Structure 1
């Protein structure tokens, strides 16, 4: 409704939004939300050295596959997870580590960690009575998944290389990782879990919301 005065000035009152949405607005908003959720939820392997641009195209391809055939992505993630857990079992046996904690133990640790973060209580340092800090760290699920994602590489710079010309780094596949885990596991257990977690850009809350929205 417009109100007019004698001097010709017009005043406009509040008007409600339209009650009907068009087909294009419904489809475009749903498609955009789904693409963003899938883009956030999909995690690819660590890109090879010097191939960051190719990684973007690979992720676009996996996003399209996730939209058209999500069960294929789920199956791929399942097989990668089982390979990582098998590697973890092999590494713990060869490193003489404790067995993998149960689901209840892992849940308790996660809740305790969240409670410490909420209460802003710093973690108490663990006393070290064994002298110098050891370079061999306990093997965790984070190490297994990191290895399955292609986190371990061979650097041949400055050494005799059997790699193609101009290539100085090569990612170690799961077969190579399992071979090293069987004969020289101490070569892999030189990275603390905190360092792997520090490189992670994943936010658990955002991932859970994105996966729920996509479902």
Structure 2
């Protein structure tokens, strides 16, 4: 069949469909139109969908979790054979994959319900990455300092680099598995440790000692030259931040903000759900700023097989616990840097007001160390202040209106107390420093 014949068939089909439509319109005494505008009034479903889509997409894109374990990366499924001779059919994910999905869903729900804590967590990780970057550049020449970026620091912090020293009796790592990396999820090794940085989806096939660099940041200065073998572009390529989802989230958020401002400017009301979504958008925007350089959904590590010349991967018990040092491949595979421990969660809440959490707050800290906690309370204050825009709105009953007012107002006032406490602590630190300086004169 020629192209000309195909065009004739398509044209004929379109003509018949139009003719049938004209016949139907004539018999029904109606008029055909080319475009029908939606109803001028907003429906309940349109409001719910626009807000719900923002919560789902933004929560998905905001959560920058650390690298999962090897079993979670593999993502194996339970299979069943329906017919002999046919491939097995996957029907249910195994425990590691379910654990990975459950962690993502829990964090998405947590961010959606308490976005101010997401801001604090992002600020804490940004502070640690910034500190490592600053310390790294102090130990290295300016020529190499420019190559080490925040992306490198975040990658180390999220458990992306493993220092591995094979035992003297283990076989050397050979250059024979690089081509099988993608298909078999094996490590790409370098002969005679010349490259010193290799890709790994699982630990090296040898015995020895392995340490996640994020657990032992003091080794960062020892592997600084090897870290520079990992270009920033390679780390960004590991990130799975797709443009389509991000563009959809930005479009939805921008549309809701513009629509809400336009309705308020023309004297129209917006719903409480839309107001809560606007407050969530503010927190999500701050999270994206702090996590701008952190790779998203990375599932690959790099193994450093040597550190500085003459330096071995050893650590004294003063700096290293038994949980930090692993001695087998399977233990390295199960290693994962926690996104937020319970003790760090308590520190975020109580640190600015000087309430001790174990031994964590036994010493005074410089003001930059309070950045996560201050970010938490500033985000919480702004989040609640946006909700107070509904102070004079219509509510289902006077009781609901009073509860809305005073609960938000009381929580807002309580959010200022830690900020005042952190400012006082900073003033005491500065005053003590001045007194010490005067005593030395």
Q: Tell me how far 1:75 sits from its aligned partner.
A: 0.5
Does the alignment pair 1:84 with 2:93? no
Q: Against the structure 1 CA distance between its residues 207 and 32, is the aligned structure 2 distance closer, same or farther, given a 3 Å change threshold?
A: closer
Equivalent residue, structure 1, for 2:113:
68
Q: Against the structure 1 CA distance between its residues 25 and 181, is the aligned structure 2 distance closer, same or farther, given a 3 Å change threshold?
A: same
Equivalent residue, structure 1, for 2:159:
150
Give the conservation status (yes or no) of the 8 Å contact 2:54–2:249: no
What is the CA deviation profile of residues 180-207 of structure 1, one whole-angstrom value per residue up to 9, with x for unaligned ones? 1144433433312221122223368739
Structure of greater relative contact order (alpha carbons < 8 Å, 6+ residues apart): 1
* Structure of greater Rg: 2
Give the conservation status (yes or no) of the 8 Å contact 1:84–1:145: yes
Q: Tell me how far 1:58 sits from its aligned partner.
A: 1.5
How many residues are paired up? 166
Q: d(CA) in 2 for partners of 1:206 and 1:25?
A: 20
In structure 1, runs of 5+ residues without a counterpart are: 102-137, 163-169
RMSD (Å), alpha carbons: 3.4
Give the conservation status (yes or no) of the 8 Å contact 2:54–2:253: no
Could you tell me the TM-score, scaled by structure 1's length? 0.62
Comparing 66-75 with 19-28, greater Cα deviation is found at 19-28
Q: Against the structure 1 CA distance between its residues 210 and 160, is the aligned structure 2 distance closer, same or farther, given a 3 Å change threshold?
A: farther
Q: Tell me how far 1:150 sits from its aligned partner.
A: 1.7
Q: Tell me how far 1:73 sits from its aligned partner.
A: 0.7
Q: d(CA) in 1 for partners of 2:159 and 2:251?
A: 25
Could you tell me the TM-score, scaled by structure 2's length? 0.33
Does the alignment pair 1:192 with 2:210? no
Give the conservation status (yes or no) of the 8 Å contact 1:87–1:144: yes
Q: Against the structure 1 CA distance between its residues 146 and 24, is the aligned structure 2 distance closer, same or farther, given a 3 Å change threshold?
A: same
Q: d(CA) in 2 for partners of 1:207 and 1:84?
A: 29
Q: Against the structure 1 CA distance between its residues 9 and 174, is the aligned structure 2 distance closer, same or farther, given a 3 Å change threshold?
A: same
SS at match of 2:220: helix
Give the conservation status (yes or no) of the 8 Å contact 2:72–2:100: yes
Does the alignment pair 1:172 with 2:212? yes
Give the conservation status (yes or no) of the 8 Å contact 2:58–2:249: no
Q: d(CA) in 1 for partners of 2:253 and 2:212?
A: 34
What is the CA deviation profile of residues 82-138 of structure 1, one whole-angstrom value per residue up to 9, with x for unaligned ones? 11111112222223336977xxxxxxxxxxxxxxxxxxxxxxxxxxxxxxxxxxxx3
Give the conservation status (yes or no) of the 8 Å contact 2:156–2:214: yes
In structure 2, runs of 5+ residues without a counterpart are: 1-22, 74-96, 165-201, 255-280, 283-441
